[in-house]
């Protein structure tokens, strides 16, 4: 075993003989470019965040390539310590100064970016996020259906979703990603495993950081419009326009979709053999308006962004209670606003931001044929905050300070029984600090960082921290060996604390916050044409909140702190691009998630609805300007009871495929696309008595200018 370890270490970290070339890659403006592939056609490395690279080569020339820039070949004899790459606008649109938030902290050691193809039609934000490893969603994959996200096998409410630096689910609930318009998303990054120091509560599993499209300061105007049509009565239109100058710019996007979402499904054989019924009363519609404006005076940047979404969703309920929830629906709106002022006094990065978010929903189940659980209520949430950030960078040292104050409220008005009204309001404040140091040792780089955050809330105060260590090697095989240890917390949601909506469920005001501590270690290797990553994650959650059935004048569901849980898994991912026209990728997650309140980990029952294995494999083929994509995914069995006494839901696998192209015509970029989901028309179940759709077709065309 020791010999194998030594051999692996030598292969990954020991440099080969040859000439060691070091330099820095920058663009025409002198700004560093990261992840530029530097190759001599035998070995290759990627440039770092500051544009620096180091490569051992026996070749005569080096080739520098990155999407969005022209390929450059330079002889070693004339190579200088600075390599300038020229942008190639037709590959990716040039992005200039925008209203995006300044990073108050240096990036986390395990920060991962999900590439977003500007020519591709994404039908939901969750579809974008699920391209990353360790991500899983068990919700119905239809437009307008509720979409939540699990990170590394953790509960969906333990995934903190942040939009432009503002948490969207700070109250301890899972965030519905279907409320975000995918056409308005610019980029997505995520941090795994206990990341409360970067965002606060609900980050036990990690954080998904979403950046929306912003107005940019440039001499350009752009326009785009798209139309999408699909199965089950789906239709969507999107329109966006941007007006810009070097001093001020503005962007507006409007989108709207409708979907009937009525599909056929089979009833269980024991219920009604060979019986096919229709999933009725399942229509969805949603409208979104997004605005962004930015202006600049010297080093001062003032920006505003706002979103307004309205929706109406029919909710047919489980198939064993169709007549109890027939004609039930949920409708409402959400509004998010952010104003940011940033500057660079005395070489520091200073950012002040104020935000206001409001959500209003109405649930109505008063027209069902069987009036067993009539319910009619209105929910409102408000979130107002002010944040100040200060960061610095000096040489190989970086650091940051942040402070935040605000108020959040929740209101539930029972429109049938006013005595069941709920109202909750609380103030919050937090402060955080992070420092980071780098040290270079030839072709090696060591990065060490630590962060602390203190959160004040009405119910409890929390101190969380995170330590990160990453060793990088630049040479024949660029590689990284890293690890983190962190703590996090998650507040009980107002729904958990105070719910009085019907006789089936009741809240628990005695709940306490969940807390966790966990660690991860990973090895990432980037041999020529490939990226391989292996990670092990281990997380312990104390005071885990679960809804359990209790006897209270009959059966009722009530949340309670069950004790402790442990989630451990292997996270594997790989990408292989042997040719310019072929790219292969795969992700796999093998998880053990168990309730260890009363038993040892080996003997403890599995947590409900957490699959033991999730796997996907995809391929992308290009022929001229045509791209073909295919993906096959697998999800393992899931338990449906806390004691695991009932048989688990069986595993299932799904296949999807798509074809797209993009071309220019008369100054316009035109991108048509066709996608097919559940290509093999598989029958499967994610939750009992919740049917899943069969094969579905979606087609669209995007037209845009300004390139």
Question: Does position 6 have pLDDT exceeding 60, yes or no?
Answer: no
pLDDT digit string, tens, across residues 370-396? 887 788 999 999 999 999 999 888 878
| pLDDT tens digits along 224-240 | 999 999 999 999 999 99
- Is pLDDT above 70 for 662? yes
Cα(105)–Cα(101) distance, integer angstroms: 11
Q: Which two tokens stand for residue 123?
A: 């039908």
Overall average pLDDT of the 30-56 stretch: 80
Q: What is the pLDDT of residues 522-547, one digit of tens each?
A: 999 988 888 999 999 999 999 999 88
Look up residue 158 and give its DSSP letter.
G
Indicate the burial class of 89 (C-beta count within 10 angstroms; 0-12, 13-18, 19 or more). Answer: exposed
**Residue range 78-101, pLDDT digits in tens:** 787 889 988 764 333 333 333 344
In contact, 271 and 278? CB cutoff 8 Å: no
**pLDDT for residue 237:** 96
Mean pLDDT of the chain: 87
Q: Is 86 helix (H, G, I), strand (E, B) or coil?
A: coil
Per-residue pLDDT, 262: 93
Residue 547, CB half-sphere, CA atoms under 13 Å: how many? 15
- DSSP-assigned letters across all residues of 482-493: EEEEEEEEEPPP
DSSP-assigned letter for residue 681:
-
Picking from 254, 169, 252, the residue whose alpha carbon sits closest to that of residue 206 is 169
Taking residues 100-126, what's their average pLDDT? 74
Q: How many CB atoms lie within 10 A of CB 694?
A: 18
Average pLDDT on 188-206 reads 93
Q: What is the pLDDT of residues 201-218, one digit of tens each?
A: 999 999 999 999 887 766
Residues 6+ apart with CB under 8 A from 418: none
> What is the pLDDT confidence band of residue 138, given thresholds at 50, 70 and 90?
confident
């Amino acid at each position: 075993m020791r010999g194998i370890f030594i051999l692996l270490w030598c292969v990954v970290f020991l440099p080969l003989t040859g000439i060691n070339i070091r330099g820095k890659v920058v663009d025409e403006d002198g700004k560093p470019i990261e992840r530029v592939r530097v190759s001599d056609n035998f070995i290759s490395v990627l440039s770092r965040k500051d544009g620096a690279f180091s490569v051992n080569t026996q070749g005569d020339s080096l080739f520098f390539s990155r999407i969005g820039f022209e390929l450059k070949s330079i002889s070693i004899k004339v190579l200088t310590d600075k390599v300038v790459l020229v942008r190639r606008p037709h590959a990716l649109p040039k992005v200039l100064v925008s209203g995006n938030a300044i990073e108050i902290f240096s990036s986390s050691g395990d920060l991962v970016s999900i590439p977003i193809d500007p020519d591709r039609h994404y039908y939901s934000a969750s579809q974008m996020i699920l391209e990353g490893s360790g991500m899983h969603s068990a919700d119905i994959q239809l437009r307008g259906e509720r979409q939540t996200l699990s990170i590394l096998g953790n509960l969906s409410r333990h995934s903190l979703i942040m939009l432009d630096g503002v948490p969207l689910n700070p109250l301890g609930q899972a965030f519905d990603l279907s409320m975000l318009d995918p056409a308005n998303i610019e980029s997505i990054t995520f941090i795994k495993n206990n990341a409360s120091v970067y965002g606060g509560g609900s980050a036990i599993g990690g954080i998904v950081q979403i950046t929306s499209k912003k107005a940019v300061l440039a001499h350009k105007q752009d326009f785009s419009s798209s139309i999408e049509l699909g199965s089950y009565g789906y239709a969507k239109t999107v329109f966006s326009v941007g007006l810009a100058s070097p001093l001020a710019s503005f962007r507006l996007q409007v989108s709207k979709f409708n979907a009937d979402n009525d599909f056929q499904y089979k009833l269980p054989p024991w219920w009604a053999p060979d019986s096919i019924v229709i999933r009725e009363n399942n229509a969805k519609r949603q409208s979104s308006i997004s605005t962004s404006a930015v202006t600049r005076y010297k080093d001062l940047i003032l920006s505003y962004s706002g979103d307004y979404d309205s929706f109406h969703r029919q909710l047919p309920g489980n198939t064993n209670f169709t007549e109890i929830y027939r004609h039930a629906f949920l409708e409402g709106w959400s509004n998010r606003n952010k104003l940011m002022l940033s500057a660079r006094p005395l070489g520091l990065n200073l950012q002040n931001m104020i935000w206001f978010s409001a959500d209003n929903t109405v649930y109505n189940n008063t027209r069902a044929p069987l009036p067993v659980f009539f319910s009619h209520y209105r929910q409102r949430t408000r979130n107002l905050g002010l944040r100040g950030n200060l960061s610095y960078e000096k040489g190989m040292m970086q650091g940051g300070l942040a402070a935040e104050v605000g108020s959040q409220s929740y209101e539930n008005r029972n429109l049938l029984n006013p005595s069941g009204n709920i109202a909750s309001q609380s103030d919050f404040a937090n402060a955080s600090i992070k420092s980071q140091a780098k040290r270079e040792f030839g072709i090696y780089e060591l990065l060490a960082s630590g962060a602390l955050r203190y959160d004040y809330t009405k119910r409890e105060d929390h101190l969380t921290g995170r330590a990160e260590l990453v060793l990088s090697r630049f040479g024949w095989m660029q590689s990284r060996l890293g690890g983190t240890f962190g703590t996090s917390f998650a507040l009980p949601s107002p729904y958990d604390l105070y719910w009085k909506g019907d006789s089936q469920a009741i809240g628990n005001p005695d709940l306490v916050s969940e807390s966790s501590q966990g660690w991860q270690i990973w090895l990432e290797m980037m041999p020529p044409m490939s990226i391989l990553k292996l990670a092990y994650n281990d997380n312990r959650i104390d005071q885990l909140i679960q809804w359990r059935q209790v006897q209270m004048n009959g059966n009722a569901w009530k949340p309670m702190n069950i004790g402790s849980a442990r989630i451990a898994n292997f996270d594997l991912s790989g990408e292989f691009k042997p040719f310019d026209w072929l790219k292969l990728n795969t992700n796999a997650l093998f998880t053990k998630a168990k309730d260890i309140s009363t038993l040892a980990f080996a003997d403890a029952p599995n947590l409900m609805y957490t699959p033991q294995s999730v796997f996907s494999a995809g391929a992308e083929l290009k022929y001229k300007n045509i791209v073909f994509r295919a993906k096959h995914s697998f999800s393992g069995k899931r338990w449906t009871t806390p004691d695991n006494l009932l048989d688990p839901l069986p595993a299932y696998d799904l296949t999807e495929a798509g074809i797209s192209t993009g071309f220019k015509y008369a100054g316009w970029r035109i991108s048509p696309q066709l996608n097919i989901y559940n290509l093999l028309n598989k029958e499967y179940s994610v939750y009992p008595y919740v049917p899943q759709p069969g094969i579905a077709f979606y087609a669209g065309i995007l037209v845009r200018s300004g390139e």
